[in-house]
Amino acid sequence: MKYLIAGLGNIGPEYSLTRHNVGFMALDRLAAQQSFSFKMERLAYTGEFKHKGKQIYCIKPTTYMNLSGNAINYWLQALKIPAENLLVICDDLALPFGKLRLKTKGSHGGQNGLRNIEEKLGTNAYNRLRFGIGNNFHAGKQVDYVLKAFNEDEMIQLVDRLDRVGEIILNFCTTGVERTMNFYNE
């Protein structure tokens, strides 16, 4: 059984610790824990590992957030992975910082990466793990907020939350999305 885990973010050092890059951060943390590394390939940094007999492929699209669907669609087809074995990890302004919500389908909620994935896959029925980044910004400052680094208090909590995302990924691949949602959704 094969799985594709896609962490959304933007490439480049200026984005590395920003709220919008929490998908990349989650996969970097998972790579450290599972002892795999990423290499540059077509449209994404890719890495893979095995867990309990499951082959897990991880990608960090190099297409920037708003075109993430290009990389995800390519790698699903190249690896011959069914869409139900896809899990997308992204930031979510509508959730308080650190809150995690796993869903099997739904609207993009204004998140441009999810919007592009929906367009490229032709459906909104794919698994996504939304990582709450809060919405502590003034009107018209949303872009500045998501492209800003986490504050000191958030950074302290971030490692624990990223570890929780890793648990969710492994559980998703071994016990399925429904059981994972029942156990982990907060």
Residues known to be catalytic: 20
Q: Where do the DSSP E strands lie in the chain? A: 2-7, 39-41, 44-51, 54-61, 86-92, 100-103, 127-132
Number of H helices, E strands in the chain: 6, 7
DSSP H/E element including 104: none
Burial class (CB in 10 A: 0-12, 13-18, 19+), 42: exposed
Cα separation, 81 vs 86, whole angstroms: 8
Please state whether 80 falls in left (phi above 0), alpha (psi between -120 and 50) or beta.
left
